[in-house]
Amino acid sequence: MPMVTIKGATLPEPAGIYIHIPFCKQKCAYCNFYSVTDISLQKAFVKVLLREMELASATDLCFDTIYIGGGTPSVIPSRHIDQVIRQARQLFQFHDHVELTVEVNPGTVNAADLRDYRTAGVNRLNIGIQSFDEASLKFLGRIHSGQDSYLTFKNARQQGFDNIGLDLIYGLPKQTPQQWRYDLQKAIALEPEHISCYMLTIEAGTPMEKKQRQGSLTPLSEERICELYNIAVRYLCDHGYEQYEISNFARIGQQRDYRSVHNSKYWSFTPYIGLGPSAHSYIHPIRSWNCREITDYINIVQKGKLPLEDQERLNRRQQIIETIYVRLRTAEGIDLTQFEKKFGICLTDEFSSLIKLLVKQGKLICTPSRLALTSEGMLHHNSITLMFI
């Protein structure tokens, strides 16, 4: 388990809580996250979620993040979000400072909801803007307009949120560099603390994949996607955002660091527990996940059982592969000393010619203490990771 030194004492690194709210107003054309549009189950769901929290609270982990995601948490009334936070606060142990994030989507949240979130202790907001361009929003199947996004952001600032992240999507079919720059400019003009740029992936079972199969949708060429990625990296860096993970950029200053503390746990094998349908947990070395269907979830928890679907114990080889995979997603990269201490493998000895080649190509940075991909290298993250395993 990763350790951290606090006030001279070495303690287990603070853990995270992820809470999945599985409701959306409408399914977006590209989405394969688990959510349902029938919100009639929300009251029963929240009741059961509070019960699941009781069942999961027998842990000695101490937490410093709560991330309420989905789905669209903002489609359920803010009083339910408040109930969930209160329950977590009551049942689990927390460090002094807790990063408490709620994901919201424009068109589902108003100023009063945001005020209620603040009162409930929410101190970080993540807004699913995706694009400011109306045609792109329509293509993605989003329910909101660009105007809704401005309004949500403005309301959030007015309610005192000083740590706001925006999500954008790029790589839409036929998307031009000009169109992508337009989205980036609009996002930066709002001056958020954090921006995530996700590349559109066409997932199996989604309406978008069906269109692709039928031949009415042609994905963007790889060359163009690389161009759009490079535009984002350059543009955001030029405007004071540091790329700390392939898709994530934050303002990082001496006063405050706006990297997502919660999401960073996923890239460092820090323990987290997931609550709600389809949520995953990781408590070294076991990964487990909840059942996906909301009705199954409700039935199981109502019987007083944890809604676990399955779990796997990561063996040494899996841990090595996953450490390389997730750490190379981050700008910090792999801590070579820690890696050798944990797995008994000196990566720089084992892969010396590969490392030399990748460094020469400008894709890798290798210092005596760490191995990390450059922005250029991150673009080829999957293929480079495969070379190490």
**Binding residues for ligand SF4, per CB under 6 A?**
24, 27-28, 31, 33, 35, 70-72, 105, 128
What's the closest the beta carbon of residue 235 comes to ligand SF4, in angstroms?
Answer: 24
What is the rounded CA–CA span in Å between residue 324 and residue 334?
7
What's the closest the beta carbon of residue 35 comes to ligand SF4, in angstroms?
Answer: 5
Cβ burial of 23 (10 Å; 0-12, 13-18, 19+) is: buried
Residue number with CB closer to ligand SF4 (143 or 188): 143
Cα–Cα–Cα angle for 122, 99, 64, nearest 5°? 130
Q: For 373, phi and psi rounded to 5 degrees? A: -80, 145
What's the closest the beta carbon of residue 158 comes to ligand SF4, in angstroms?
Answer: 24
Residue number with CB closer to ligand SF4 (31 or 187): 31
Q: For 81, phi and psi rounded to 5 degrees? A: -60, -40
Residue number with CB closer to ligand SF4 (65 or 74): 74
Residue number with CB closer to ligand SF4 (140 or 250): 140
What is the rounded CA–CA span in Å between residue 132 and residue 46?
32
What is the rounded CA–CA span in Å between residue 328 and residue 354?
15
Residue number with CB closer to ligand SF4 (124 or 142): 142
- CA 34, 37, 43, 45: dihedral to nearest 10 degrees? -20
Q: Whose structure tokens read 């199969």?
A: 213
Residue number with CB closer to ligand SF4 (28 or 298): 28
If one counts every other C-beta atom within 10 angstroms of the C-beta of residue 162, the result is 12
User: What 8-state DSSP symbol labels residue 173?
Assistant: T
What's the closest the beta carbon of residue 234 comes to ligand SF4, in angstroms?
Answer: 27
What's the closest the beta carbon of residue 389 comes to ligand SF4, in angstroms?
Answer: 31
> Which strand (E) or helix (H) includes residue 296?
helix 294-302
What's the closest the beta carbon of residue 325 comes to ligand SF4, in angstroms?
Answer: 24
